[in-house]
Amino acid sequence: MSSKKRLTASFMIFILVMFLFTFTAGIEYNRSYQNDAKDAKDQLLLIKLNLENIITSKMLAVNGLKAYVEINPNFSQSDFDYFARGIYESSNNVVKSLAFLTDSTITHIYPFDDYKNIIGTDLDLNAEQKEWIRYAKENQKAIITALVNLVEGGVGIVVRVPVLRQNKYFGQVSIVFDYDKTLASSGLYALAENYYIELNKTDELSKEVKAIWTNFNPNDFKKEDRVFSQVNLYEST
């Protein structure tokens, strides 16, 4: 065999080996990617279930208070404490406070000693919160807002549950969730140590999708490369 033929044969063998290596590497990469994607989906599912449990369980717990208010519209702060204490103390410090708004004014709060200074605050006069107060009032539907600059200071995730009396709007219960503790309890922060994550919420007023929390720039990743999971919360938007 001439040296030219030997060189050509060696080159062809090299190309074949490189092709097989690239093909095998591609298969392995795809398998690894699929495994990572499945693992991410499984962990996102757990976060989804945790968030649904953390928030929905407290919304359900408000039903006792709603039923009481329907019968006793002039309920006292002590009455409110009775219902709010159980929700607050069972939340593992995720719930920051609970309030009752008679129409749009804060008339009851728990823990009272910590937040009594905001009693009498009319949130319909608060530039940031008034539209959400009105939404719950006019649509008679629970709504979740995040992030909210709280009148008592700091930021939170707020659930507003309208309360009807004789089929008419009477007021609403607001449950303020601690932002960091809620996300930490869901497992999101732990997962974010190994993945890029974005938690979004559709704004019911603007209909825009807004990020509640993220650790990356969405423009850096193609949409088809992302894994999605939707959180469904009890009777809310």
Model confidence band, residue 27 (pLDDT cutoffs 50, 70, 90): very low
User: Kindly report the CA angle at 138 between 136 and 139, in degrees rounded to 5?
Assistant: 65
Q: What is the pLDDT of residues 171-183, one digit of tens each?
A: 999 999 999 999 9
pLDDT at 48: 81
Sign of CA dihedral 22, 28, 32, 34: positive
Question: Has residue 29 got a pLDDT over 60?
Answer: no
Q: What is the pLDDT of residues 148-158, one digit of tens each?
A: 889 888 889 99
Q: What is the pLDDT of residues 68-79, one digit of tens each?
A: 988 999 999 999
Residue count of the chain: 237
Question: Has residue 193 got a pLDDT over 90?
Answer: no
The average pLDDT across 134-158 equals 89
Of residues 206 and 28, the one with the higher pLDDT is 206
Q: What is the mean pLDDT of the chain?
A: 80
Question: Has residue 233 got a pLDDT over 70?
Answer: no
Of residues 188 and 233, the one with the higher pLDDT is 188
Reference 101, options 127, 129, 61, 64; nearest CA is 129
CA distance 11 to 9: 5
Contact 174, 99 (CB under 8 A): yes
Reference 119, options 127, 111, 131; nearest CA is 111
The average pLDDT across 6-10 equals 47
